[in-house]
Chain A
């Protein structure tokens, strides 16, 4: 029974998969499966970063805005450099670095402000949610960044081995790397400790604000990366990209067993949480279910996931 609860997200994903495989036409086609992965990858990459933040007992509401802002910087650099004769892959790599760096900077601002002013991260990132979005609109004057090299689209639409989408390859690399970071490094272990009991962490000599800020920094960097993948899809830097993504990202972590009170969560769970939402919306589309109904279903899934999680915690820690 205990293991059943523990692996509930995994069972649910499996069950959804079977149900749609049996009922939805073309669900199992390689093209459709690749599409599900591709569509989920932007949210999933950011959700992996959000797992660190939530495990450490914090939250980041600004992630959608930060994703757009970072990608604006990235695509502006790309637009400026392209056509100067440098090979495309170099300019794209440079633009990616700029976007990731911008994300890291934004994450640092979130973490540092929360520590320095001793404010809950919910409040600080509620503020930066608006600030980063406003900045993205301000620097672009609200006009999307265009005139980007066509090869930029490879980041979102490219494939290796003829079927595996590039975003999925990036997602896989990020997932492996950050699983190791969360489970095998000091940062990961301290994140769990800080989320579980911040006072005890302080009394144990852990530099709580530094490590918590580091979690925001990771998330920021991943938002920068995700922002460029999203921009590559339309080969455009959209200042309005990623609106509302923060809630989907947080939902992925929570459905995957992360606890908003901190101390719990896993990368694998988060990925499953994100895929559950991805499969739900893809399968419902194939079945012709209205997107309005899908929203209702996803809302119910979130409540159910947290309810199960609570029930489990009451039995475990009590």
Chain B
């Protein structure tokens, strides 16, 4: 046993976040920690890495009781935490990042050669497809994660903690990272990682622990449990089914694309989206699905070809135009292009529909409160008050707020780009019910997702993209993940 946490409890401002959690982590093992947002996973990891002090309980490293006074101590002892938001410096090279803060010096000057040589030997050892001299800004997300891992490795680690390392990755990107994690494990380190992707439990994790409401409800080897059992443990009850039944009636064509191209990205896309339909867009990263979504929302005004909406030809040159037509766009990066962190929940939700609340040029608080309040209730957004800052809400609740914002603009067409990314299972199921309900009410939904189960479970039809071209449109019995993968990979 390498690291053991015994009876850990922690509260913030009177709210217990962890209650008497005991877990142990072995060397040469990958330990997956799962649970819904707010279950206490990140807090536990931060306690292990010395960022928080537990209120009660003890930590043991290699049989010795330990107590971190600051994160640096945990690092020196060999425990390091790689946060979800990576902290690497884009302008520096891989080698400079790896040795940042522990640069080898000679006569007071940084000895680049030594750092580069050491980094090079590491990239060779792990068969990484980038070099020590690459600028980190040019690397893909999973390569950046790999740089973070290298950085921890040169600090002679025993325990490596990764907080949702693959949350923003495509399957192919994730696979790269899994390979490296396995290699690190073989060198005898203990890896702990937080994830929302249940498929990662099979094949990658040796051990799985489930947290719910600050309590460890399950901990065992990963091959002794099933994904559905873990799912029910996570949400504390059995799930009938994750996806609602597809009983929607497809109406008339709402939007039609004819020979739409975006030079350098999209080539000759023609497809129809109907009222009452969820149309999926499938494909790998680089299939240019997001670019299509951006064209449709007026963010790529240089497109060619025709777009018809509601029987009229339209030309989409900026987002406010798309908004006026009744398009809504839930973008893939909630933090970067979704929420306004300094604004309250109320202000965030009202932002798309302010003209509706204006009386004599001034925003009427009472009208605004009523409309927003009604939407928050409908979406069951969990917040203390609408006047709370949105940044205080969990990812799932933030995403519901963004959907609520768009619903208030009275859209007819919803473009959803990775709408459930980084959101826990319970909130996901709620969102799925919403998507189904909206489609049943006659809205047209365009769903981009890298989660193949989600595409298969939700969509009536799936348009599969490959390198900017439409490979096929799957219908009926062909709406399966196997078919999506086949066409996405082979065209």
Contacts and interface: CB of A to CB of B under 8 A. Distances in A.
A200 B319 contact: no
Contacts, number: 83
Interface in A164-198: 180, 184-186, 189-190, 192-193, 195-197
A206 interface: yes
Contacts of B144: none
Interface residues of B, number: 32
B455 interface: no
Interface string B315-356: 000111011100001010000111111110001001110110
Interface of A: 180, 184-186, 189-190, 192-193, 195-197, 199-207, 262-264, 316-318
Contacts of A190: 351, 354
Contacts of B355: 186
A196 B341 contact: yes
Contact of A196 (B324, B340, B358): B340
Contacts of B343: 192-193, 196, 263
B363 A203 contact: no
Interface string B293-325: 000010100000000000000000011101110
Of residues A185, A190, A205, which shows the largest number of chain B Cβ atoms within 10 Å of its Cβ? Answer: A205
Closest 6 interchain pairs by CB?
Answer: A205-B323, A263-B342, A196-B340, A196-B342, A203-B337, A205-B319
A192 B339 contact: no
Contacts of B336: 197, 199-200
A186 B409 CA distance: 15
A263 to B, nearest CB: 3
A303 to B, nearest CB: 22
Given A204-B351, A204-B352, A317-B342, 4 more contacts: A186-B363, A189-B363, A201-B340, A205-B352
A203 B329 contact: yes
Contacts of A316: 389, 391
A200 B352 CA distance: 11
Contact of A185 (B337, B361, B409): B361
B338 A203 contact: yes
Contacts of B350: 189
B400 interface: no
A205 B337 CA distance: 11
A200 B362 CA distance: 23
9 contacts: A186-B363, A197-B337, A197-B339, A197-B340, A204-B352, A205-B352, A206-B319, A207-B320, A262-B342
A211 to B, nearest CB: 11
A152 B258 CA distance: 67
B405 interface: yes
Contact of A263 (B340, B351, B405): B340
A190 B362 CA distance: 13
A202 B323 CA distance: 11
Interface string B366-407: 000000000000000000000001010000000000000100
Nearest to B342: A263
Nearest to A261: B342
A197 B341 CA distance: 7
